[in-house]
């Protein structure tokens, strides 16, 4: 009789645990869903390729989902998730297959009706920036985040974030002015 009572208690605990996990999962998904467009913009700015950006965000969302228990209770999800997206973009860039994979004929670049020489020059200038500088510039000017969030996502101080943005803008000015000449 006592074993049945213990088994019943264990079954109730498992049911409560399952219900609690499902509620947390639903809450996390509801909180994450509105951040996906911003994450795609960040990844597009970091990877400078829309397909790579989608892959990076998808991988980052899976990583965030699996690590959701590591997030500090009561903290804002946006800086935490965007930091995961930025790390995923860096890791994708560093991955060995990305540097080894070569195509017989390079794929044709997508051209959109709004493309112009200035936009192409800007993308080329962004490609020349170091990844940590590009991240700061994209976060500040493409996502319009305050320096405190840029610092949190970049894992540096607010002063270092300001310095990175300033150096990135100066580098872009130099690059773009050289291309105009």
CATH code for the structural domain at 14-69+76-97+116-180: 1.20.140.160
Distance of CA 87 to the CA centre of its chain: 7
Alpha carbon distance 74, 61 (integer Å):
19
- What's the pLDDT score for residue 40? 93
Ordered per-residue pLDDT tens for the chain, 181 residues? 555 677 777 766 666 655 555 555 678 888 899 999 999 999 999 888 888 899 999 999 999 988 888 887 778 889 999 999 999 988 876 654 554 554 444 444 455 555 577 788 888 889 899 999 999 999 999 899 999 999 999 999 999 999 999 999 999 999 888 877 6
C-alpha neighbours within 13 Å on the C-beta side of residue 69: 3
- What's the pLDDT score for residue 140? 94
Structure tokens at 5: 């009572």
Give the position of tokens 């700061």.
136
User: What CA–CA distances, in Å, run from 23 to 16, 26, 35, 36, 71?
Assistant: 11, 5, 19, 21, 16
- What's the pLDDT score for residue 14? 67
Distance of CA 73 to the CA centre of its chain: 21
pTM score > 0.85 for this model?
no
- What's the pLDDT score for residue 149? 93
- What's the pLDDT score for residue 37? 94
Q: Is the distance from CB of 73 to CB of 169 less than 8 angstroms?
A: no
Q: Is the distance from CB of 79 to CB of 156 less than 8 angstroms?
A: no
Q: Is the distance from CB of 98 to CB of 112 less than 8 angstroms?
A: no
């Amino acid at each position: 009789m006592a074993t049945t009572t213990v088994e019943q208690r264990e079954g109730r605990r498992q049911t409560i645990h399952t219900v609690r996990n499902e509620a947390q999962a639903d809450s996390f998904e509801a909180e994450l869903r509105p951040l996906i467009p911003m994450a795609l913009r960040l990844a597009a700015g970091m990877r400078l390729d829309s397909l790579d950006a989608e892959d990076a965000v998808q991988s980052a969302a899976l990583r965030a989902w699996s690590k959701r228990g590591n997030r500090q209770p009561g903290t804002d999800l946006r800086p935490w998730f965007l930091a995961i997206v930025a790390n995923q973009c860096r890791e994708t860039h560093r991955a060995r297959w990305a540097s080894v994979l070569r195509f017989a004929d390079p794929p044709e670049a997508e051209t959109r009706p709004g493309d112009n020489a200035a936009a192409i020059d800007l993308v080329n200038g962004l490609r020349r920036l170091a990844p940590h500088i590009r991240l700061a510039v994209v976060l500040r000017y493409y996502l319009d985040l305050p320096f405190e969030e840029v610092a949190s996502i970049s894992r540096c101080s607010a002063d270092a974030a300001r310095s990175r943005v300033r150096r990135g803008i100066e580098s872009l000015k130099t690059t773009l002015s050289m291309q105009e000449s």
